[in-house]
Amino acid sequence: MKIAVFSTKIYDREYFEKYGKDKTFDFSFFETSLGTATVNLSKGFDAVCVFVNDRLDKDTIEGLASMGVKLIALRCAGFNNVDLETAKKNNIKVVRVPAYSPQAVAEHAMALILTLNRKTHKAYNRVREGNFSLNRLIGFNLYEKSIGIIGTGKIGAAFCRIALGFGSKVIAYDKYSSEDLKNLGVEYRSLQEVLELSDILSLHCPLTPETKHIIDAAALATMKKGVMIINTSRGALINTRDILDALKEEKVGYLGIDVYEQEENLFYKDLSESIIPDDLILRLNSFPNVLITAHQAYFTKEAMKEITQTTLNNIRSFEKGEALENEIS
């Protein structure tokens, strides 16, 4: 079976070659992302393996179908970049990796909180320059602060446990509450109450039409002045223009994001010698209380192993005609 792997980085190839040693599949690795302009690269392949920034819209999927591709294997959990209706019409199966070390993402969310709060990134640079002053490095205790969590799936649940370990008061919103989390001390509230009561707000919900721009001007207006907002889920959960206004007005005291609305044009690329045309992210970077990482929350050895092995198992099941446990219907 021939598989075209798009948006390939060195580490992707390393893990696929490590865990695909049985040579069951014939992989071809492409650094470029998959979209309408590159769909011709899939000619002669049985399946494509794609990541979060590949664009599998109607035209791309129809192009895949015309070339005989029968499987789209996502090596990620999210699938908002795939036109599922067109895939179904063209008899192309779509599989994903529904869970891969939720602790990795949850731990990164807490790392963003601690870094923004205690300003360790600034302290590190100061000390390297011989500046041992503590001016403007003051933070606050997480103990007894209200940490709000939107979305208590596997990642959100892992984050709840971490936050409880700091002695924080954890409040959460999800359509489906967890009795296990309640027993640990998590208090479920309405979305409006979580927005209003949180000192720190961490987003762990999927991107759907319902959750797109869940953090917008109206939501921000209800929050505490100086609130910290963390997003390690999907960029479009936050309306970037609205959050910029809130930062400028000092309504938002801290912002930590590992995802960004227009990240497909930026993330996973070295643009250090380029002129970045995205004015919004340049404005975000200009704020001293904003911390941006480039979609690396998932990036641990354990998560990469799980992603690779699950992807390979998904492809094997398809090849054997078995039921696809991780098919997106």
Q: Output the CA angle 118-159-305, nearest 5 degrees.
A: 105
- CA-closest candidate to residue 189, choices 198, 277, 180: 198
Phi-psi region of 144 (alpha: psi -120 to 50; beta: other; left: phi over 0): left
Rounded distance between C-alpha atoms, residue 292 and residue 306, angstroms:
25
Please report, as a single letter, which amino acid is at residue 243. Answer: I
Cβ proximity of 269 and 281 under 8 Å: no
Provide the annotated active-site residues: 234, 263, 295
CA distance from start to end of the chain: 23
- CA-closest candidate to residue 228, choices 241, 212, 218, 215: 215
